[in-house]
Amino acid sequence: MRIEAADFFYLAMPEVTDEADGSQDALLVRVAAGGHVGWGECEAAPLPSIAAFVCPKSHGVCRPVGDSVLGKPLRDPSDIARMSAEVAYNSMDLLQAAHTWSGVEMALWDLLGRARGEPVWKMLGYDRSQPKTPYASVLFGDTPAETLGRARDIRTKKFRAAKFGWGPIGRGDAAQDAEHFSAAREGLGEDAILLVDTGQIFIDDVERAAQRLPALEQARATWFEEPFAASALASYGALAARSKHVKLAGGEGAHNVHMAKHLIDYGGVGFIQIDCGRIGGIGPSKEVADYAVARGVTFVNHTFTSHLALSASMQPFAGLGDHRICEFPAMPKPLALELSAAPQRAAGGACSHARHCCSASASVMPNVRSKLLA
């Protein structure tokens, strides 16, 4: 079969705020080939991403993504890999191309899975899908009291792990941040896994980031996520060398496999967090998962959008039993839930739909609401 169409659907909440909440809009992609359709999602700015698919070419290696996709054969996963390589080469000077291609690639796996009646993780080479431990992913409160409240709420919901991110961290001094870390630990209880995400706030300033290490150690945080800009490898490496117990985590900004591998090798992260909707889709994510296994680094999905993206992002490490933790957006906007007919659920400390999202379905996204098909 050949790829006949790729259509983009831009959805947004009525109001989009300045919160670091990626579930406020969504860019879905529907591909069609041989009587089948598949769905994917770009974790990306919708309009530039759509433009990168349809724009006129500027020259031979600044071509729109569509040039490497439309009309191309789709028989098996090797065709998806070939298109990935073609997009990387033909669109090397079109920066946004990686984000656009990510959603298309995801949709192609979905389509192939539907056509074959086979789960994506199986096509990726896994024998079975393993259960995961979802962590509730939320933002820090504006005050330590608010952070405490959110942590207690998460505990009530019986999550065994939680990640607090962004908010006021890094905008004041280290003592203020320490109060938030300790509030999060207090609210979650002693046994829960606590993860902290500072959203690149220290840019590349190793000293300022290092000032947060004692309080993170004190609160027994498992990881210190994105202290620096996605490309600031040397700063990651320097901070990793200064940390005793807290491991660094990062990788959501990787828009190709090299960036993720370098964050492991030069940046010294202990957790590599990959967003299928940015790195170029499911295939490149699986390549990073393989690399992480070989380097003794833990692979984790990065997902802060819809349950379509959540389902897709589980596939690349579905078969890795030791890479157990998974990101689960716990307070998404209604948009991110409502576009799926049957969102995944996490309850009782485990992802109740682990079988559903990682194993049972033949496709990445079997249940996009039919209203989107109109």
Q: Sign (positive/negative) of CA torsion 162, 163, 169, 174?
A: positive
Map residues 294-313 to x or -, x wherever contact with its own copies holds by CB under 8 A.
Answer: --------------------
- Say how far apart CA 359 and CA 153 lie, in whole Å: 29
Q: Is residue 19 at the binding interface for its own copies, with CB under 8 A as the rule?
A: yes
Is 255 a binding residue for its own copies by CB under 8 A? The answer is yes
Nearest distance, CB of residue 88 and its own copies, angstroms: 7
Contact region with its own copies (CB under 8 A), list: 212-220, 253-261, 307-315, 366-374 = 253-261
Q: How many CB atoms lie within 10 A of CB 341?
A: 12
Q: Which residues pair with 29 in a beta bridge?
A: 8, 40
Spell out the alpha helix ranges (H) of the chain. 46-54, 77-90, 97-116, 120-123, 144-156, 174-188, 206-210, 213-218, 233-242, 257-265, 276-279, 282-295, 307-314, 334-338, 354-355
Told to check if 232 binds its own copies by CB under 8 A, we report yes
Check: CB of residue 196 under 8 Å from CB of residue 224. Answer: yes
Here the tokens at position 362 are 């033949």
- Give 148's Cβ-side CA count (13 Å radius): 8
Indicate which single residue of 2, 34, 45, 142 sits in contact with its own copies (rule: CB under 8 A): 45
- Show contacts with its own copies in window 24-43 (CB under 8 A): 24-25, 43
> Does residue 16 bind its own copies (CB under 8 A)?
yes
- Per CB under 8 A, 48 contacts its own copies: yes
Q: Which of 203, 347, 360, 372 is the binder for its own copies (CB under 8 A)?
A: 203
Among 79, 204, 290, 338, binds its own copies (CB under 8 A): 204
Name the nearest CA neighbour of 258 among 233, 236, 277. 233
Pick the closest to residue 282 from 25, 11, 39 (CA basis): 39
CA distance 234 to 38: 39
Candidate list 3, 29, 74, 94; residue touching its own copies; CB under 8 A? 94
Is residue 20 near its own copies by the rule CB under 8 A? yes
Stretch of residues binding its own copies (CB under 8 A), selected from 90-98, 112-120, 240-248, 286-294: 90-98
* Per-position x/- string for 257-296, each x denoting binding to its own copies as judged by CB under 8 A, each - no binding: -xx-xx--xx-----------x------------------
Residues that bind its own copies (CB under 8 A): 12, 16-22, 24-25, 43-52, 54-64, 85, 88-89, 92-96, 98-99, 199-200, 203-204, 229-234, 253, 255-256, 258-259, 261-262, 265-266, 278
